[in-house]
Structure 1
Amino acid sequence: MTKESPLRKIIASLQKKISVGCLDKAAIEEATKELAKLGYQYDDDRFPPLVGTENFSNNSSDSPQHLAEALLWKLGKWKAYKKFCENYAAEHPAPTKTDVVFYAFAMHLKDKNNPIYDQHAVRSLWAIFGKLTADERQKCKSLLFDTKKKWKQSGSGKSAIDCYSIFVKYVNDLVSASGGASRSELDRLLMPLGQAIKESTQTHIEFHALCGWSSSG
């Protein structure tokens, strides 16, 4: 990955816009379109719009009651599904380090002001948001890189909950300063950007080079 690569230019542009407080709706749309030209874009067929999710209810029982639940059972996701339903229905749910992505999604379904969170989104935020503290960057590194400093298959580890809190805080800052961009529009940028970064780099050193950072951290 060279300094002048198209992906590097997109990241550098986003970094600059954020640093001067002008990552507005137009800038988010422009970066999203540039990513699409590179083959990275939100998959509307795989992830169709979520409508009326605030009115969902937890009707799950001890065994599958319809085809969707039966498929989750077959995929070995029954316990994860049950915990997901509990988080959605609970008045004061709390994440654990092993289910924070599903917890975050349940919170998003209940209230769209809660952002969708996954490894790609937090990787993107780390890359473009220069205001992360050294401790916050270290937690992102622990979440996303293994002991050989290569990307993990998915975000995991003791910093998972902290990284979710970091992500929510700064996404809220970006949306507040965007002058009209929605969390959905930001999500449609962060997800494919994170995918592009992961597929274009393998190691922590390569990631640093892509982001234009002069020192390790």
Structure 2
Amino acid sequence: MSLKPVLGAIVALLRNHIQVGTLDAHAVQTATTELAKHHYKYDADLFPPLPSNNHWPAPTLAAPQSLAEALLWKMGKWQIYKSFVAHYSSTSSTPKNTDTVFYAFAKHLQNPARPIYDQHALRALWAIDTKLTPQQAKICRNLLAKKDGTWKSIITGSNTSAGYDLYAERIVDLEKGGASLSALDKLLMPLGQALKGNTVNVSEFVKLAGCGE
């Protein structure tokens, strides 16, 4: 059985809430619960809660100093990790086109009021946010889809920084309805996964969501 009618109904309800300004904690939780019924939910085993108000000491990075760092070294991720630590250590760092997701996470660890960001969250925002301008929708498309309209495997493109900026700006606005950043995160990640998994390309996505391309 196709999940598209269910996703279409969830997206339509969320779009209506955003349009009339009623996207509160209850509306977000209702949509999150409905997605979970169809096996799209935030994986707490894969992403256990981060400790609140934790001080994350920045390592020296001369060489791996913990088992976690040793594993990253073995996986060939040492340079990526060093870049991530640099973003966390600096309040003035800017992302490259290739590391915006890690940059966003580093800034979230600096300040939990800043959102975690990835392709699924951006895709979900594109689907439900009736306040996106045509130019902002175009940024989403360029970052998430190839020229032929099929989905990219990760966020890529020359507008990666602009994509994060618009996401962070719009999430702040959505929070005004009363849903927490954590609750929005637990909705948007699985919703974006469901939308990617159940649409072949942008044309199908736009038809399902009723949003602009």
Normalized against structure 2, the TM-score is what?
A: 0.96
Is the CA contact 1:136–1:166 (under 8 Å) kept in the aligned structure 2?
A: yes
Query: Does residue 188 in structure 1 map to residue 186 in structure 2?
Result: yes
Residues of 2 paired with 1:52 and 1:82: CA distance?
A: 23
State the one-letter code of the partner of 1:12.
Answer: A
Aligned residues with identical type, % of pairs: 46
Residues 185-214 of structure 1 show CA distances to partners (whole Å, capped at 9, x for unaligned) of 10000000000000000111111111124x
Residues of 2 paired with 1:32 and 1:89: CA distance?
A: 34
State the one-letter code of the partner of 2:181.
Answer: R
Is the CA contact 2:127–2:210 (under 8 Å) kept in the aligned structure 1?
A: no
Q: CA offset at residue 23 of structure 1?
A: 0.4
Match of 1:130 in 2: 130
> Which one of the candidate residues 179, 202, 212 is aligned to 2:200?
202
Match of 2:82 in 1: 82
Query: Does residue 94 in structure 1 map to residue 94 in structure 2?
Result: yes
Residues of 2 paired with 1:121 and 1:133: CA distance?
A: 17
Match of 1:117 in 2: 117
Is the CA contact 2:4–2:198 (under 8 Å) kept in the aligned structure 1?
A: no
Deviates more, 1:97-106 or 1:49-58: 49-58
Q: CA offset at residue 52 of structure 1?
A: 4.2
The number of aligned residues is 213
Matches within 5 A, 1:1-217: 5-52=5-52, 54-176=54-176, 178-179=177-178, 181-213=179-211, 217=213
Q: CA offset at residue 19 of structure 1?
A: 0.3
Residues of 1 paired with 2:97 and 2:208: CA distance?
A: 29
Q: Which runs of 4+ in 1 moved over 3 A?
A: 1-4
Residues of 2 paired with 1:190 and 1:210: CA distance?
A: 16
Secondary structure of 2:76's aligned partner: coil
Secondary structure of 2:40's aligned partner: coil
Unaligned runs of 5+ in 2: none
RMSD of equivalent CA atoms: 1.6
Q: CA offset at residue 157 of structure 1?
A: 0.7
Residues of 1 paired with 2:3 and 2:202: CA distance?
A: 16
Secondary structure of 2:65's aligned partner: coil
State the one-letter code of the partner of 1:204.
Answer: V
Deviates more, 1:44-53 or 1:23-32: 44-53
Unaligned runs of 5+ in 1: none
